[in-house]
Structure 1
């Protein structure tokens, strides 16, 4: 925190360097190369060990100076302690760490504690855990939908391991939380290779003003 990462990398590389949140460059990748092509507003969601949302609103990526990507929005008033020092952040209930810890508490072996394995298991305990995970993810997505009426959410990262069953869970819960008015939210899976963030970062560099 406070370290001049961009400046230091520029010195080492001998070239200009830009630093941006993963979810924000990911939304650019989806806009130019993925499911967001042709849309003026939508959200791109990074899931897994990291968590965040990049938002394209009326053709512009929302990236205010000092802004974040949503992982530390408070979703439970007296929840678990987060790595940021606050309690109840979205990150504490909607990342791989939460899923892994809850699965261990229920006696799942480490190799069976992944989203892919739990989704494929078919047991009531596994299905319940996956449903809770989807609900936790929607805690943040529903807030984004209510604020910006994104309409489309593109899931990346770990969510891809859950496949169509997990996508459908997230979409159904997000639609249930929608307040009505505007576009009914749709959830889609990103590209299997999940290269949206890399493509978006390349596009960010290529489109940057030349000095």
Structure 2
């Protein structure tokens, strides 16, 4: 990081982090998959290395900022930005403000199946256990479709069995999004990451599932868009937006 910024006039640095973070103290409090980062003072360390002001936020919340200022969320006061693939999470902009309660996470560990598989967090049936790349590969392997299959490969395969796995994956992703829509009614969901590989049918299945579950009279019909930018780029743009908001 010091090398990257050495020749630049840095106005500030925005950090997108996984797990549970404390933006006020600049600490990464907990990352289930990376125990070495528990309690890590990332803003203090980066500030010492670069001499710049450093601001920390959860990746999903920075992603929604990226979409708000630079993507498909421009001009909206309420919408949700969704990471799909190896990383799963939702950031929500509500009435012009990013929802960022202390202790809040990205939704990956909301319970969607009380008797489901054990998650890396220790609980059972987390959304993460059903709607990430790991589940997709395991499901494809169990169906005899091959090892380490990607969503793009399953879609390109075109056979009925692969199609059923892809549709099940879309329904699993929609499970968590339905809960978000029920609670906050963002109306617009912008999918990033692996969802780009699913094509129009994948997007349609998620949208139809959302509309079937939350068909309230007078409310905005949920819409699903698939972002074209790489998900890391959207989070990085959100980091820039975070710095600009502090300036």
Give the TM-score range, shorter chain. over 0.9
Q: Which residue of 2 aligns with 1:169?
A: 205
Using the alignment, how far apart are the partners of 2:121 and 2:227 within structure 1?
28
Name the residue aligned to 1:187: 224
Is 1:136 the counterpart of 2:172? The answer is: yes
Cross-structure match for 1:149: 185
- Correspondences of 1:25-64 after superposition (within 5 Å): 25-64=62-101
Q: Where does structure 1 lack aligned partners over 5 or more consecutive residues?
A: none
Residues 62, 238 of structure 2: 8 Å contact kept: yes
Once the 2 structures are TM-superposed, how far is the Cα of residue 5 of structure 1 from its aligned partner? 2.2
Partner of 1:10: 47
In the other structure, the counterpart of 1:74 is: 111
Report the TM-score when normalising by structure 2.
0.81
| Secondary structure of 1:18 counterpart | strand
| 1-structure distance, mates of 2:116, 2:55 | 35
Please give the secondary structure, in 2, of the residue aligned with 1:100: helix
Normalised TM-score (structure 1): 0.94
1:14 positional shift? 2.3
Could you tell me how far 1:119 is from its partner in structure 2? Answer: 1.4
Paired residue secondary structure (1:102) = helix
Which residue in 1 is equivalent to 2:135? 98
Query: Which shows bigger deviation, 26-35 or 200-209?
Result: 200-209
- Superposed, 1:102-117 pairs within 5 Å as 102-110=139-147, 113-117=149-153
* Structure of higher CA gyration radius: 2
Residues 192 and 230 in structure 2, CA contact (< 8 A), matched pair in contact too: no
Aligned to 2:20: none
Flag the structure with higher strand content.
Answer: 2
Contact 1:119–1:165 (Cα < 8 Å) also in 2 = no
Deviations 1:56-112 (A, max 9, x none): 00000001111111001111001111111111111010000000111111122236x
Deviates more, 1:175-184 or 1:39-48: 175-184
Shift of 1:200: 1.1
Question: Is residue 207 of structure 1 aligned with residue 245 of structure 2?
Answer: yes
Partners of 1:106 and 1:52 in 2: CA distance: 27
Corresponding residue pairs, total: 208
C-alpha distance in 2 between matches for 1:169 and 1:140? 14
Instruction: For structure 2, list consecutive stretches of 5 or more residues without a partner in the other structure.
Output: 1-37
**How far off its partner does 1:175 sit?**
1.0
Counterpart contact for 2:215–2:221, Cα < 8 Å: no
Indicate conservation of the 8 Å contact 1:160/1:192, yes or no.
Answer: no
CA distance in 2, matches of 1:78, 1:9: 42
Quick check: 1:174–1:185 contact (8 Å CA) kept in 2? yes
**In structure 1, what is the Cα distance between the partners aligned to 2:204 and 2:228?**
16
